[in-house]
């Protein structure tokens, strides 16, 4: 059986870091945290079985293996972008295209969407789900809802609030932070370690997910306690799927941010509607 390929995001992080010789600059370019880029490159190195960078005090330097790999990865990413562009015809006529984080699509928009469609029956909607920020590059959407930092979001983006991190568990699951498995979303700056530093104790996750939405889904099915963005939880609590496992919360260095195409009346109406749905 052929050996499976490493995730595309690992190659993306390596290629950007190799061009900039900086994890920080690579993170700014592709919209991830510096820690996420560093971890993805480390994972790729472990998978390849060789170091790709020399970590120095003043930055990064490519190893011989890294220099050999870079042109092949750059060429492959270029070919993928060219292939995708041939099928990207842009937004459909008279259609409002919303490119959104999977977590927001699942836990924030979907439960409330009947209200929007009832208010605006003239607007046809097309949803494009995304996880990583570079997934948005080819979307050409009228509305974008991304996950990241304030700096990455840009000056014209609206934050979806509340954005603190809260501990959630299934309503049918008995137990506490000390007795139940902990679930963590990877690729974020704050997690159970930050919770421990703020509220005490030693919290070590047993389950990991690549989004807050998946972490919340795991919690809703009774797999443990998930630390997730509070903005995702309102409808899940109201429907009885989950409840707070602890009354405290911690601030998050990242959040969900909404931006729209200027001069689009339909996009403006969607933004106003969604922001009005969230707690004030």
- The SS3 call for residue 84 is helix
d(CA 145, CA 201): 34
Tell me: do 153 and 173 sit in the same domain. no
d(CA 260, CA 81): 24
Tell me: do 169 and 246 sit in the same domain. yes
Domain CATH number, residue 63:
1.10.10.10
d(CA 170, CA 249): 17
The interaxial angle of helices 265-277 and 110-119, nearest 10 deg, is 130
Q: Specify if 149 maps to a domain.
A: yes
Q: Which residues does 151 contact at the CB level (< 8 Å), separation at least 6?
A: 28
Q: Specify if 51 maps to a domain.
A: yes
Q: Specify if 2 maps to a domain.
A: no
d(CA 185, CA 212): 5
Residue 56, judged by CB atoms within 10 A of its CB (0-12, 13-18, 19+), counts as: exposed
Rounded to two decimals, the pTM is 0.68
Tell me: do 149 and 264 sit in the same domain. yes
Per-residue pLDDT, 155: 75
Q: Specify if 48 maps to a domain.
A: yes
Tell me: do 170 and 223 sit in the same domain. yes
Q: Specify if 42 maps to a domain.
A: yes
Q: Specify if 55 maps to a domain.
A: yes
Q: Specify if 3 maps to a domain.
A: no
Tell me: do 135 and 266 sit in the same domain. yes
Q: Which residues does 189 contact at the CB level (< 8 Å), separation at least 6?
A: 33, 35, 252, 253, 254
Asked which of 78-82, 198-202, 211-215 is least confident by mean pLDDT, the reply is: 78-82
pLDDT per residue as tens digits for the range 223-276 = 999 999 999 999 999 999 999 999 999 999 889 999 998 778 999 999 999 999
Q: How many CB atoms lie within 10 A of CB 273?
A: 16
Q: Specify if 233 maps to a domain.
A: yes
Tell me: do 138 and 269 sit in the same domain. yes
Tell me: do 261 and 222 sit in the same domain. no
pLDDT per residue as tens digits for the range 150-199 = 877 777 889 999 999 999 999 999 999 999 999 999 877 789 999 999 99
Q: Which two tokens stand for residue 207?
A: 């389950």
Tell me: do 174 and 245 sit in the same domain. yes
d(CA 155, CA 137): 19
Per the model's pLDDT, the better-predicted residue between 150 and 125 turns out to be: 125
Which structural domain, as residue segments, surrounds residue 21? 8-85
Tell me: do 48 and 185 sit in the same domain. no
Tell me: do 81 and 16 sit in the same domain. yes
Per-residue pLDDT, 116: 96
Instruction: Give me the number of domains the chain comprises.
Output: 3
Tell me: do 156 and 176 sit in the same domain. no
Q: Which two tokens stand for residue 265?
A: 């009346």
């Amino acid at each position: 059986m052929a050996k499976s390929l490493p995730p595309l995001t690992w190659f993306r992080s390596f290629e950007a870091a190799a061009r900039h010789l900086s994890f920080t600059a690579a993170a700014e370019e592709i919209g991830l945290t510096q820690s996420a880029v560093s971890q993805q490159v480390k994972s790729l190195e472990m998978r390849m079985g060789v170091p790709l960078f020399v970590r120095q005090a003043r930055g990064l330097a490519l190893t011989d293996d890294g220099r050999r790999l870079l042109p092949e990865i750059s060429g492959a990413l270029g070919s993928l972008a060219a292939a995708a562009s041939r099928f990207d015809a842009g937004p459909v006529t008279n259609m409002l295209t919303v490119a959104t984080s999977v977590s927001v699509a699942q836990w924030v928009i979907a439960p409330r969407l009947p209200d929007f469609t009832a208010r605006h029956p003239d607007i046809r909607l097309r949803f494009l789900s995304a996880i990583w920020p570079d997934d948005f590059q080819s979307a050409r959407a009228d509305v974008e809802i991304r996950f990241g930092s304030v700096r990455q979001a840009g000056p014209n983006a609206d934050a979806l609030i509340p954005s603190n991190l809260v501990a959630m568990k299934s309503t049918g699951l008995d137990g506490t932070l000390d007795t139940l498995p902990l679930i963590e979303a990877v690729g974020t700056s704050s997690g159970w370690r930050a919770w421990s530093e703020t509220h005490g104790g030693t919290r070590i996750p047993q389950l990991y997910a690549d989004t807050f939405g998946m972490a919340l889904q795991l919690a809703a099915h009774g797999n443990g306690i998930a630390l997730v963005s509070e903005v995702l939880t309102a409808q899940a609590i109201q429907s009885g799927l989950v409840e707070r496992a602890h009354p405290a919360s911690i601030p998050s260095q990242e959040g969900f941010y909404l931006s729209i195409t200027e001069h689009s009346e339909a996009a403006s109406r969607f933004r106003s509607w969604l922001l009005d749905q969230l707690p004030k």
